[in-house]
Amino acid sequence: MNSQTRNVNLGGTYTPTGTSLTFKRIGYGAIHLSGPIAWGPPKDREAVTAVVREAVRCGVNHIDTSDYYGPHVANRILKEALYPYPTNLAIVTKVGARRGADKSWPKALSRQELIDAVHDNLRNLSLDALDIVNLRLGGQFGPDDSSVEAPLSVLAELKQQGLVRHIGLSNISHAQFNEGSKITEIVCVQNHYNLAHRNDDGLIDDLAAKQIAFVPFFPLGGFRPLNSPVLDSVAHSVGATTRQVALAWLLQRSPNILLIAGTSSVEHLHQNFHAADLKLPAEAIAQLDGIAAATP
């Protein structure tokens, strides 16, 4: 790997409370290092390896991954591309699900499944400890009302053992965050959030007051890509792509929001980075804020 880094604007930095980790606000999501719907190998292994190396060369210092991407594929490519890892690089992974032979995503929240998942991540990434492990709960379409106590207590034990440094929660409700924060320190929340899907506005503000990071997944719409004439109009008015506007809006929404937009293209990677250079005027923000209200 070329160790020469470039000075790229990645939206400033953010340090979650309870950590010594200072994150660039734009990171990288590793889901596209595996094949379609995070199953099997990528179409072009050499190309995706180049993307992740370029991300780090440009200054990205946190990567979101999971050993169930592939399964095992994304983590092994990260190791191949980056090991030995730069000292300032935080690798954030997820547990709480597994991949079925039919490409499904069944929950994996038993004690043994969580322990095995942490060890799978450690082994395939060649790490002695994981910087942050997000416990993913809920269902395919959002949080449920289940208690977080049992699975989160397992991760808290692994943290005491030194295998996990910090713990986050993913796909959770505000009530589940409140429950979880009484069990162990939570440094980040990773939930579905974007211009059109804003159920977590209140949670984001609460986390910001507590200096806890919020990491939106599906920042560009996910399985239903953002599609709005308002977004098109704003993008045209500021001379940017709709993708860049959607990411810039997130960066301006709250200082505790960190981005992990993934891509298998170096060109798209750089386009994502340019979102940090885009300062949306107040009138554009007001127009974009109306998208959520108009979304069924």
The catalytic site residues sit at 69
What sign does the dihedral 87-88-89-94 (CA atoms) show? positive
Are 213 and 170 in contact, with CB atoms under 8 Å apart?
no
Amino acid code (one letter) for 68: Y
Q: Which two tokens stand for residue 57?
A: 């060369």
Amino acid code (one letter) for 284: A
Torsion over CA of 267, 272, 277 and 283, rounded to 10 degrees?
130
- Give the integer Cα–Cα distance in Å for 257 and 227: 22
Are 191 and 203 in contact, with CB atoms under 8 Å apart?
yes
Amino acid code (one letter) for 296: P
Give 264's Cβ-side CA count (13 Å radius).
17
* Segment holding 73, helix H or strand E: helix 73-82
